[in-house]
């Protein structure tokens, strides 16, 4: 494996140098450069071996060899970017449970920031949501154990456990001088990725909270049921709510976009080499039959949510209302390692909207910006910092943008963005630059 890796690296380096060299000495110089690269790599690997043996021989207590290796792997992977990570076998199985849509725990989407567990969003109807945990909160302790020094997988593992057992979390919240202590009872988390209802007798409201394996199928059922409740001639359109949706599976983002698009590119992914570019197109036809769409986004809308919002916007299929999205424009590929060694979640590509725009560390701007009225007790923590604020993030193609409001009022009557969406679909207000009012007549690019 080592020889293969070094050969590939040497080949790539050689190609780059060949483009820059000419004349009879070119081949010789390329060979010298390749040999130097290989020599540098072997030197670094020898350094790692020396340190490993010194720790095993001289550390004050006998270390566990497997833990040393896992720690070294974690250090290497986490130094790349905030989203690449190594999962041991237990963590790998837990991730499979999560993406399947059912698992035991607290119902909370988290990431790692500055050594602490940061809440991306609590899932609807789960113990975390019922306890009042909010997007942007930091978890500093789990059952009196400090989170500092743990990997994300280790912290998540501590929060999981047998159903009906309790765990205590210490929450740090911006604007609060003192920590907040909450005790939660673990439940089987049935992730319901799609919820829906009708508003009045003319609008279908659909909320997608995550992109798990069931999302595409659940969305189709939601659209079909709304169509049964509201006759086509009375249906003014749909509101697609992607606020505080942290993302999920790429194929589900394509499936969701396909439900609202007759044809056309949804997203493209581009890796280090041009031949790695992939394009994903809509399939299955527009299930809404060209009805106007309004998409709600905010600072907590990330990854797969941004793919859907970007695709519908670029194809002039929807008007976006809310605040700037999170700005996670990278794709992680899950690479099983075999032999019970877990898997890598490795950032392998950036994704681009159909117009060729990368939203990495920039996010997607809504057509109509609507700021919510944040209660006094929550002011100062109603914003999500965004991808650009994460240490080690991939750089943007242009000026980076950090953060936007992520607060969503718990009561519909206080939700200004949702009210604006309803008014736009009903023609109470208009957006001259937006596509919603005329989307049923808009041409869709191939």
Active site positions, annotated: 303, 314, 328
Rounded distance, CA 413 to CA 423, Å?
13
Q: Under a CB-based contact definition with an 8 Å cutoff, are residues 442 and 288 in contact?
A: no
Residue labelled with tokens 């009210």: 419
> Residue 88's CB: how many other CB atoms inside 10 A?
21
Rounded distance, CA 299 to CA 290, Å?
28
Tokens linked to 137: 């909160």
Q: Which residues of 328-354 are buried (b: 16+ CB within 10 A; e: fewer)?
A: bbbbbeeeeeeeebbbbbbbbbbbbbb
Of 118, 122, 120, 90, the closest CA to residue 105 belongs to 122
Residue 378 CA from chain centroid, whole number: 24
Rg, Å, the chain Cα set: 24
Rounded distance, CA 267 to CA 276, Å?
14
Angle at 413 between CA 243 and CA 382, to 5 degrees: 45
Residue 122 three-state SS? strand
Tokens linked to 266: 């949804």
Q: Under a CB-based contact definition with an 8 Å cutoff, are residues 77 and 86 in contact?
A: yes
Q: Under a CB-based contact definition with an 8 Å cutoff, are residues 139 and 179 in contact?
A: no
CA torsion, ordered 53, 57, 59, 63, to nearest 10 deg: 80
Of 293, 273, 265, 424, the closest CA to residue 349 belongs to 273
Which residues, other chains included, contact 361 with Cβ-Cβ below 8 Å and sequence gap of 6+?
327, 329, 386, 387, 388, 393, 394, 395, 396, 400, 401
Q: At what angle do helices 2-20 and 26-58 cross, to 10 degrees?
A: 140
Residue labelled with tokens 């909320």: 207
Residue 169 CA from chain centroid, whole number: 24
């Amino acid at each position: 494996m080592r020889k293969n890796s070094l050969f590939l690296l040497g080949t790539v380096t050689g190609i780059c140098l060949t483009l820059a060299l000419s004349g009879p000495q070119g081949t010789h110089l390329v060979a010298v450069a390749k040999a130097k690269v290989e020599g540098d790599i072997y030197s670094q690997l020898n350094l790692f071996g020396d340190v490993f043996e010194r720790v095993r021989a001289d550390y004050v207590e006998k270390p566990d060899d497997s833990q040393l290796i896992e720690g070294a792997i974690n250090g290497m992977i986490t130094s790349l970017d905030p989203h690449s990570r190594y999962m041991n076998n237990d963590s790998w199985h837990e991730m499979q449970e999560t993406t399947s849509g059912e698992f035991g725990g607290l119902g909370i989407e988290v990431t790692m920031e500055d050594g602490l567990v940061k809440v991306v969003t609590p899932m609807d109807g789960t113990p975390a949501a019922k306890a009042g945990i909010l997007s942007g909160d930091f978890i500093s302790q789990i059952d009196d154990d400090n989170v500092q020094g743990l990997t994300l997988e280790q912290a998540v593992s501590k929060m999981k456990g047998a159903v009906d057992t309790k765990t205590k979390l210490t929450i740090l919240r911006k604007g609060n001088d003192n920590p907040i202590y909450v005790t939660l009872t673990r439940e089987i988390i049935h992730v319901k990725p799609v919820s829906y209802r009708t508003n009045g007798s003319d609008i279908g409201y659909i909320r997608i909270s995550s992109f798990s394996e069931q999302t595409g199928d659940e969305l189709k059922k939601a659209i079909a049921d709304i169509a049964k409740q509201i006759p086509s001639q009375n249906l003014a359109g749909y509101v697609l709510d992607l606020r505080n949706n942290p993302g999920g599976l790429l194929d589900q983002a394509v499936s969701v976009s396909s439900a609202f698009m007759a044809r056309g590119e949804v997203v493209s992914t581009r890796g280090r080499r041009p031949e790695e570019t992939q394009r994903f197109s809509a399939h299955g036809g527009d299930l809404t039959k060209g009805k106007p769409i309004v998409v709600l986004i905010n600072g907590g809308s990330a990854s797969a949510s941004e793919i859907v919002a970007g695709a519908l916007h670029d194809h002039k299929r929807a008007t976006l209302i809310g605040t700037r999205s999170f700005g996670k424009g990278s794709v992680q590929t899950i690479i099983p390692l075999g032999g019970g060694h877990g898997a890598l979640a490795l950032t392998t590509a950036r994704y681009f909207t159909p117009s060729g725009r990368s939203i990495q560390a920039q996010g997607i701007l809504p057509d109509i910006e609507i700021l919510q009225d944040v209660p006094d007790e929550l002011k100062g923590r109603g914003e999500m910092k965004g991808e650009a604020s994460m240490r080690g993030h991939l750089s943007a193609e242009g000026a980076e943008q950090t953060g936007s409001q992520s607060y969503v009022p718990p009561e519909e009557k206080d939700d200004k963005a949702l009210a604006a969406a309803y008014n736009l679909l009903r023609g109470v207000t208009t957006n001259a630059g937006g596509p919603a009012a005329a989307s049923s007549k808009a041409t869709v690019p191939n």
